[in-house]
Amino acid sequence: VPLRLIESVESREMFQLHIICKDSKVVRCHFATFKQCQEWVKRLNWAIAHPSRLEDLFALAYHAWCLGASADDEDQHVHLCRPGDHVRHRMEMEVRRMGFDTQNVWRVSDINCNYKYVCGVPPLAPVVENAVSVCSHDAAQTMDVV
């Protein structure tokens, strides 16, 4: 379980540890002794605690490093800070994992590439086939009328 996916950690029935995840999964761990169980509760709670300073988050430090990277480092790492083929690949893997029927009903739309329309929606998103073109067509007709 990735650490940032953990919502909370609880000790139950002396030797049992419950890890409650943000995606509603619960992982139960059994220990031989109460002391072991408590040690892991303490370790996990320390690991999932929110950082005291926002700057301590790795993503922010890495992003700042990417923005200030020298020309020598650019070809190695800076591309990770920008959207590219890796974003499309991850979306395709997720669509496949979730079982979307991309042959008949669904497709991946890049209408929001560069977050042009909505900043809180990913640049790629699964949509019902022809939904984007139908919406675009309706919007175009509305603009013609006005």
Q: Write the pLDDT tens digit of every residue in 67-107.
A: 765 555 545 554 555 556 667 777 788 888 888 888 888 88
- At residue 16, the pLDDT reads 94
Return the minimum-mean-pLDDT range out of 15-29, 36-50, 112-126. 112-126
Q: Is the pLDDT of residue 146 over 50?
A: no
Structure tokens at 15: 């030797």
Q: Which residue has the tokens 């109460």?
A: 34
Give the Å distances, CA to CA, from 37 to 22, 27, 30, 79, 84: 22, 14, 8, 42, 44
What type of residue sits at position 38?
Q
User: Each residue of 27-74: pLDDT tens digit?
Assistant: 999 999 999 999 999 999 998 888 777 666 667 777 777 776 555 554
- At residue 123, the pLDDT reads 74
- At residue 131, the pLDDT reads 58
With CA atoms as reference, report the closest residue to 95 among 117, 125, 116. Answer: 125
Q: Is the pLDDT of residue 140 over 50?
A: no
Look at residue 85 and give its three-state secondary structure: helix
- At residue 40, the pLDDT reads 93
Q: Which residue has the tokens 């042959």?
A: 103
- At residue 113, the pLDDT reads 75
Higher pLDDT, 138 or 97: 97
